[in-house]
Structure 1
Amino acid sequence: MSARVGVVTFPGSLDDVDAARAIRLAGATPVSLWHDDSALRGVNAVVLPGGFSYGDYLRCGAIARFSAVMETVADAASAGLPVLGICNGFQILCESHLLPGALTRNRHMHFRNRPQAMRVENVDTAWTADFTAEQRVVVPVKNGEGCYVADEKTLDTLEAENRVVFRYVDGNPNGSQRDIAGVTNAAGNVVGLMPHPEHAVEALTGPSTDGLGVFTSVLAHLGATTR
């Protein structure tokens, strides 16, 4: 039986179907989860997809963090459930305090939508096990509020504990501090990133298939932890 990976749909989610497709291509079974239902339906991992949950009112992810499903996700993440937040999902993870820092308006005040190179900084998380250290990957970025910020103490801690998972190279699309594109929690099971790996899983639609490694990584992680 293949692993079951839940994809949460919030009002305003745009990339839940894309995330489900990426999960299916990786070899797992995607399971639709509704924001207002606390049940996780027996999934082995959860993806919070990109979009504009609740229209990005107040702050991106600030309302979605109070959804019924997020209380269950937070409890399950504390118990080791792998959780991935992509773009708006990353914002929700930060607003829920499952990850440190915050995502703010791009420093140049423009929306960015383009292929973006990143370097994989940490291959010891549930979502990066299939990459090699310092591997260069290219996936799309599309955000208007993707600038990662945190106080200097938090940034220093992330660096010292190897919790920066992805870092922008060949240009920083949003002004994120220290070129941070994605981070993890201390346990390595919760990862958030602004670029969209689910849009880089097939050669036909490009710009690469590099994003598929995020989804095959969690399957490798689940296989290792259930042996």
Structure 2
Amino acid sequence: MPTTVEWISLGHRHYDEALDIQMKRAEALLTGADERQAIYTVEHPPTITIGRNGTTDNIVADQSFLEAQGFAVRHVDRGGDVTYHGPGQLVVYPVLHLAPWDNDVKQYVRNLEESVIQALAEVGIVAQRHEEYPGVWVGDAKICAVGARVKKRPSGEFVTYHGIALNVNTNLAHFQTIVPCGIADKGVTSIERETGHAADFGAWETKLRQSFYEVFQFEV
């Protein structure tokens, strides 16, 4: 029987507020207080996050510029290095225990990537994984970042939080404030850039939700 997952749209939320929501749900799963599985979607104001493997050296804009432009900077406990979130970017935070998916963290990450690849293929964008780097790529340009965090609960199942960030109509100039994911010789792209026209943000959430359903084999 397919597992049941709540798909919850948070709309426009500050990074801290969305983080608090997902962390509370993750803690409930880790302690066994609440078994509900959830996937949150959100759009953040300009925010730079630094993962556990990251360094502030990969933020190339100075602090005064970031403050003037309204950027927040946060250290977070996901994997990976430095990344950017902002308007026009669809951020997806699955807060799941992985028992229904054989408790396989590597397969979980592949499923995240595959969900995006399949959704992009529907509009003719040919995307793929990169042998050396996580995420989803169009040529040498990243269109979707992946940065998950997993913890194990006493019963042995992994619980995951954080997730993916898909550039829909993102202002790609904002990525010039950082070395994205610490990779200096690669670029970034968006659905808007690849298709040549502005994308419907809400329609892309619907499209991505459908591809998640198909890849992960869950139901609402």
TM-score, length-scaled by structure 1: 0.35
- Structure 1 or 2: larger strand share? 2
Larger Rg over CA atoms: 2
Greater RCO, 1 or 2 (C-alpha within 8 Å, sep 6+): 2
TM-score under structure 2 length normalisation = 0.36
